[in-house]
Amino acid sequence: MADTTTWLGLLQIICTIHLCTGSSGSEPSLSKRNVTSTFNEGCNMTFCLKPNGSSYINLFHVTAKGENDTIHFLWSSYGALTGIVVRTTNDASLRIDWKMMEKKEIMKEQNAIRFLPKDSVLFSSAVIFSRLIDFNDTDDTASLSKATAMNVRLFENLSWDNFNLTIDHKKSRQICVTIVGKSFSHGITKLNPIIEAAYRRKYKIL
């Protein structure tokens, strides 16, 4: 049994995130936002340039700058897969302590990833994909209470491939980042999650 690999197919999660702001009358038109993107921003350390063991360190940052504010989208596969949305003033800048990230002290310190100045953050929210639960759902009810043959897999045990970033300036004018998991480090199940985050509105992409 230990030598048996069960193929579950591809898990594909499509996260289409539209850049938006509040409904305040003072908000600028959405079309006036300029969109830029960076990958592993400000990192020239070795562990940012090649795999750390079997997994890449990925931190993808999209900014949508308007007349009155800037909206930031961050995706990271460092540990559990995490997505962050932050709305800031236009003078805000992202600061990442890559030495702290390399030492895996990000959970111990709140300043590993931050925006400066401190009062520039107007809103923030985050989602963490901590685990994947697969089970035999014979009745197609999505109810875990009657689940059989259930397996729980932690995303922090997944080795991630390098982010694939594509920018379409001409047709859909979108930025799309594809995050591919290579394999879980525990268990006998072969599983390759694919997660795509697309930022697709008719903004000016720089």
Residue 1 lies in a domain: no
Please calculate the CA angle 89-90-93 and round it to the nearest 5 degrees. 90
Residue 24 lies in a domain: no
Q: What is the pLDDT of residues 135-189, one digit of tens each?
A: 777 777 777 777 767 777 777 766 666 655 555 445 445 556 555 555 554 444 4
Range of the domain at 89: 6-18+33-205
Structural domain count of the chain:
1
Residue 188 lies in a domain: yes
The pLDDT score that the predictor gives to residue 55 is: 62
Region for residue 195 given its phi and psi (left: phi exceeds 0; alpha: psi -120 to 50; beta: otherwise): beta
**pLDDT 10s digit of each residue in the chain, 206 long?**
322 233 232 333 333 333 333 333 344 445 578 888 888 888 888 777 766 665 667 788 888 898 899 999 888 877 777 889 999 999 999 999 888 877 765 555 567 889 999 899 999 998 887 777 777 777 777 777 777 677 777 777 666 666 555 554 454 455 565 555 555 544 444 445 545 554 444 444 44
Residue 27 lies in a domain: no
Instruction: Specify the pTM.
Output: 0.66
The pLDDT score that the predictor gives to residue 88 is: 96
The pLDDT score that the predictor gives to residue 91 is: 95
Residue 177 lies in a domain: yes
Residue 125 lies in a domain: yes
Residue 165 lies in a domain: yes
Residue 26 lies in a domain: no
